[in-house]
Chains A and B, each alone.
Chain A
Amino acid sequence: MTRTVAFDPITLEVLRGAFDVVADEMELVLLRSSHSTIINEALDATCAIFDAKGRTVAQAISLPVHLGVLVEVGKKLAAQYPEGEARTGDLYVLNDPYDGGTHLPDIAVAAPVLHDGALAGYVATMSHHSDVGGSAPGSVAANPVDHLAEGLRLPLVRLATGGETNTDVIEIIEANTRTPKTMRGDLAAQISACHIGAERFGSIIERWGRETVDSAIEALMDHAEALTRAEIETIPDGNYEFTDWLDGDGGSPPSEPLPFTVTVGVSGSDIHFDFTGTAPQVPTSFNNVPASTMSACYFVVRALAGDRAPNNDGCYRPVTAHLPKGTIINPEFPAPVAARSIGLLRVCSAVNGAMGLASPERFNAASCGQTSLLTVGGHDPEKGENFVGVIGGPWRGGLGARPGKDGIDVTDTEMSNCYHVPIEATEALLPLRFNRLSLWPDSGGAGKWRGGLGFEAEIEWLRGHGLVSVRRDRHVIPPWGTQGGLDGPVSHTAVRRADGTTEQVPSKGLLRLEAGDVLLLKTTGSGGYGSPLERDSAEVLEDVLDGRVSVDAALELYGVVVVDGAVEPEATEETRRNLGTRTQP
């Protein structure tokens, strides 16, 4: 046991809980009083508190995708509004991806915390807003001219000064969104959360004294660092290289598949992520700024330590990275970055793959690896109004098979952690109808442990028209299996037009739907783990009976012969023997 905390462990635990509660209270206010579906249904929002140096002290966990992001926001706050600049009642706002943000819809609102006139720290919230202008409704166009065409860009500026709201800034923001009412409500929720956070952080200092709080923060960071280092130490030293691919850049014509290459270097308790070999930046908006890329690295490191390590700056200390400039994971301004989330998932699956090489018993096969996010804008003649929204249902396919466990069907995975938007909620808001939403049989990669399944959906456009911004992937490169497990299938997108013709649709781009058109989605599941020939035939039978695996796939991939709802043991043994011989190198 390494005893590293030079602070009374009891007071430390009490204060850790107190800081967490501040962040939780902020999140409570934020989530329950926000207006947009993305925040209050999908919980795409997060809260954190920082010390006076801008280091993360605690974070209300709703989305790992915000992990690294708020690290940068904290640093920016400390640099721009340090002691002397920050005043009680100040509020700051930021969304600039090239200066601390991630993509423009993610707006951070922050407030300083002062005690006896001295700066003690900051509180911050970040929410995904439904629209910040730009060329496409929802502000996540796949093909803008450049970053400036993506929407309103807010450098870190004051939203309020000493308690006085800077209404000029609010007016500028409201003038640059297609949904000013929702924007107003969501910003108000963020501001409320900051007020409550600042007040609560202040009362902790009031009770325990500034000196104790400051040294507890140092000790908590050291403690989290020690826990994280202890986990990294369990991984054998070495360099582990892995490449995963994005289908292409979604341009016209689309590019060839884009490599995401990472070499994870483990040395003692240090871990280094080197992205040399990763594709150059793309002209479309699938680039990730470093803050965003790093959150994928932090996520994988945190997945090692689990939920038990405090979520603060100390967790990030063992982590270093090389992100080559001008690549899709560290683009030069003004490359567009709005549709970052797919690239982010690919960073995550590449890092996951490399970690799996280092420690196969702790990492899974590839998950679905795409956000099936379809934002849509248009006019509803029945309601006589324009709308912007997200086509609901699930956004993800399956969780990749784990060593010792099957994957999970249709779940959010990795960096994201959102609720599916209920069909009934989507149908109430948008002129569309889900004619089908069901598991996609055989979409979980075969393996000793099977990958979680993806889904198929048929969505009918009912009236007027809708302009859909399609951001999907894995239409070319499937989610990989590992340790002998098979890949999942590739995803498909198509439209069955009102006239009965069917058009295949690429994974990225803009799509116009007219009344009577039906959008056809097949979203892949995930990869399998271990050889499917080693899967217990009783488990294969269960999957067949439940329609997760077809009789054909049971035979061809698993070598299990199912006839009339039962396994034929002898035929199965023979088939498995033959398949085993065939797959021998």
Chain B
Amino acid sequence: MCSLHQKLWNIGLAYGNESVTGLVAGVDVGGTFTDIVVVGPDGITVDKVPSSPPDFQDGFLEALRKAGVDGETGEVPDRIVHGTTITTNAIIEQTGARIGFLMTEGHRDILAVGLGRRPKMYDIFMDPVEPLFLAPRRRFLEVPERIDTQGRVITPLDEGSVIAAATNLVTEHNVEALVVVYINAHANPVHERRTGELLRHQFPDLDITLSSEVLPRPREYRRLVAAGFDAYVKPVIRRYLERLHGLVSTTGSRLLVMGSAGGALGVEAVLMSPLTTVLSGPAAGVVGAARVASEAGFDNVVTLDIGGTSADISLVRNARPSITASASFGDYPLNLPMIDVQAIGAGGSSIAWVDGAGGLKVGPESAGANPGPAAYASGGTEPTVTDAGLVLGYLNPASFAGGLSLDPEAALDSIRKRIAKPLDIDEIRAALGIHTVVNSTMANALRLATLRKGHDPRDLALVAFGGAGPTHAGRLAAEVGIGTVLIPPHPGVLSALGLLLAPIQHSATKSLPPGATTQDATAVIAKLDSILEDELRKELVEPDDVERNHFALLRYSGQAHDLEVPLDVKHGLDILDKARDDFHGVHQATHGHSRPNTEVEVVMVRSVHRGPTSLQGTVQVGNQTSSAGVTSRQACFDPAEGFCDVRIFQRSALETEDPIEGPAIIEQPDTTTVVYPGDSAYVDGHNNLVMKVQPQGSR
């Protein structure tokens, strides 16, 4: 296990409006490891313990114990912010709640009819793209009612049918949650709300989800999927959080949970909107990266978290993670505001292979953590990206990912057998090829991800973290033309730190009817604001400490996709007119053209209220904690030049602002940073490693 437990100094801290003497802790529970960061007046403590699926709370408590903040000994944190993978797991492993649906008469099959479009269009053996596992068809029952597109009641709600259908679902099918999805409920939720009242009265123990509350927007399939998943995960996360909350509150700590939109919420708020935790961990990573970058002077960055099986890419603008109003989880459109994180199937354990006609490919298949890369010598025989890094001398066979030892012979052997021989090239060229191909795959994804947001990656800095991020970042940056790479002090536990840097945040959205005026919009915003103020008060945040931001979603008349534009509610002018004007510019920036003479529709407004973060002020992590000397190892960057002696530095021994010219390798317990030939690196005043990269020119 990693020896990350260290006390550092030079920390400038404040804790919102709470006591400045207490501790705060971030606990990020992943599938493999549970990371903890504790910050207090004495410094920062970082630890890692194995996760404990399926009872993740055990690993959580073990992390508190290891960090000495479990209440047994010493102080307990005032506040613990938690990143969880429970929701994600329930969806991926299809282990959510047993749910049933009430649907408009004639429309029980919205899920079965589904999307229509298939992701693999040449594969006749594909599986359906719709989440049919939410419930079998027999658990979709119909109720007479109908609202038209303008919200007028066409067929009144048959309340007797509501009770009859729900009773059938409860008694015959043993459902633990009910979902109501009526056609055009976004235009007028009156029938869904009445149904909700009836159901809550009749079945007080059941969870009830209304599609118009989860996603008040048109497009019935998307609304059903969002509402269905809400109900599917709610009982699961409730059971978990209630258990955890009970355990944590006995120690006197207050539990907050990280949401996918980049803010932390109280347990009660999470249970109102459980799907918000679907990207809990990755969102925290982006928040951490955004903050670290901003303090280092970079407000516009792309973040890259490379783990074993996947790489997460996200864009940060003006020091704020970019939020998408309509995020998907894999193929499932959840349509919730989330930090826009794009995951691609490329990581340290991605398998390299040769196709039937002598082409070199890397991924998307992964050796995972078990058996893992060939170099783990635990049964894996397929060559992976990590094996290539080891063969090339980038990784230290004696200590990888916190003390794991690697078998260079096994790595070399797998590359020889599976890649070098079939391609008729030497092992070194093969290993470099694996690195080049995976870097290019990630660079392409990174490029598309930033362009999708209307940004040229060359204008951005790259923040690299995760176990494998700093190993690849230099090459990847060069490939897309990024000149600066920032590697935070603890790249392996950045998500846990990010938990402490996330504000308490609530948001609310509402559709506007066609032809809505600024007065209409202002009234809607005022209503959203008052709801959010109440919610933040419940989180012990006073209105004076709240930062309020408002957004409008707009599109050209006839378009199916909308873009978000900030609303200036204090602006004296017509705020919708102003938003429409701004929209042309945003459209131009995002899509390369605009049509100032075309009608612009305002689709919905969104209000976001941010309270203080758990940790304020500057995150100043002290540097130079060891005096380990510089060593060297044979490594290869160019097949023509072969292996050469490369200097190996220990991150903990680096002096601030002391430049290191590449090639060089910088080791620390949770990652390995490679400074490629021609590039250079130094430690900045915040103990970040800053790498200056030569963009890849013509060859």
Contact = CB atoms under 8 A, between A and B. Distances in A.
Interface in A142-164: none
B124 A395 contact: no
A308 B441 CA distance: 15
Contact of B587 (A2, A33, A405, A422): A33
A396 B118 CA distance: 13
B8 interface: no
Contacts of A61: 121
A444 to B, nearest CB: 12
Contacts of A420: 113-116, 221
Contact of A13 (B138, B360, B448, B561): B360
B134 to A, nearest CB: 13
Interface string A533-558: 00000000010011110000000000
Contacts of A270: none
Given A10-B433, A25-B448, A33 B137 contact: no
Contact of A395 (B116, B354, B593): B116
Contacts of B219: 422, 424-425
A14 B478 CA distance: 14
A36 B447 CA distance: 27
A334 B305 CA distance: 58
Nearest to B436: A10
Given A207-B697, A307-B123, 8 more contacts: A9-B359, A9-B360, A32-B591, A230-B356, A302-B122, A409-B114, A412-B116, A412-B117
A21 B447 contact: yes
Given A28-B451, A33-B587, A306 B358 contact: no
A433 interface: yes
Q: Which of B222, B358, B423, B591 has its CB near the most chain A CB atoms (within 10 A)?
A: B358
21 contacts: A1-B354, A5-B359, A9-B358, A13-B440, A16-B359, A21-B447, A32-B590, A37-B558, A224-B357, A227-B359, A364-B124, A395-B116, A399-B124, A402-B125, A409-B114, A417-B118, A427-B184, A437-B107, A438-B109, A438-B113, A439-B113
Nearest to A188: B593
B200 interface: no
- 6 residue pairs, one from A and one from B, having the closest CB atoms: A226-B357, A436-B106, A420-B116, A10-B433, A546-B137, A33-B591
Contacts of A402: 124-125
Contacts of A437: 106-107, 109, 113
Given A13-B361, A64-B122, A402-B125, A188 B595 contact: yes
A29 interface: yes
Interface stretch (A189-197, A238-246, A468-476, A502-510): A189-197
B370 to A, nearest CB: 26
Interface residues of A, number: 99
A480 to B, nearest CB: 15
A306 B122 contact: yes
A435 interface: yes
B125 A12 contact: no
A262 interface: no
A181 interface: yes
A393 B186 CA distance: 18
Interface in B341-355: 354-355
Interface string A374-398: 0000000000000000000111100
A14 B354 CA distance: 14
Contacts of A196: 592
Interface string B214-230: 00001111100000000
Contacts of B186: 424
Interface in B207-244: 218-222
Contact of B559 (A2, A35, A427): A35
A92 interface: no
A439 B137 CA distance: 10
Interface string A1-26: 11111000110111011101100110
Interface in A20-48: 20-21, 24-25, 28-29, 32-37, 40-41, 43
A185 B599 CA distance: 12
A418 interface: yes
Interface of B: 106-109, 112-118, 120-126, 128, 136-138, 146, 148-149, 154, 183-184, 186, 218-222, 354-361, 422-425, 429, 432-433, 436-437, 440-441, 444, 447-448, 451-452, 556, 558-561, 587, 590-593, 595, 598, 696-699
A4 B114 contact: no
A4 B358 contact: yes
Given A185-B556, A306-B122, A437-B107, A2 B437 contact: no
A478 to B, nearest CB: 20
Contact of A418 (B117, B441, B448): B117
B355 A227 contact: yes
B182 to A, nearest CB: 11
Interface string A333-363: 0000000000000000000000000000001
A223 B323 CA distance: 40
A239 B639 CA distance: 50
Nearest to A31: B561
A547 B138 contact: yes
B356 A33 contact: no
B164 to A, nearest CB: 18
A540 to B, nearest CB: 15
Contacts of A206: 698
Contacts of B123: 303, 306-307
Contacts of A63: 121
Contacts of B122: 64, 299, 302-303, 305-307
B357 A412 contact: no
A12 B116 CA distance: 35
Contact of A422 (B221, B432, B441): B221
B653 to A, nearest CB: 35
Nearest to A426: B149
Contacts of B108: 438
Contacts of A436: 106-107
A1 B356 contact: yes
Contact of B592 (A29, A37, A209): A29
A41 B218 CA distance: 13
B595 A185 contact: yes
A434 B358 CA distance: 53
B106 A438 contact: yes
A507 B370 CA distance: 56
B165 to A, nearest CB: 15
Contacts of A547: 137-138
A204 to B, nearest CB: 11
A423 B222 CA distance: 12
Interface in A429-459: 433-439, 453, 455, 458
Contact of A411 (B116, B356, B433): B116
Given A40-B559, A409-B112, A419-B116, A438 B444 contact: no
Contact of A438 (B107, B138, B148, B592): B107
Contacts of A412: 116-118
Contacts of A191: 593
B358 A1 contact: yes
B137 A21 contact: no
A405 B128 CA distance: 11
A182 interface: yes
A475 B78 CA distance: 70
A245 B595 CA distance: 47
Nearest to B695: A207
A424 B183 contact: yes
B346 to A, nearest CB: 11
Q: Which of A12, A61, A396, A411 has its CB near the most chain B CB atoms (within 10 A)?
A: A411
Contacts of B590: 32
Contact of A223 (B106, B359, B444, B595): B359
Interface in A298-351: 299, 302-303, 305-308
A428 interface: yes
Nearest to A542: B136
Given A306-B122, A425-B219, A408 B556 contact: no
B116 A208 contact: no
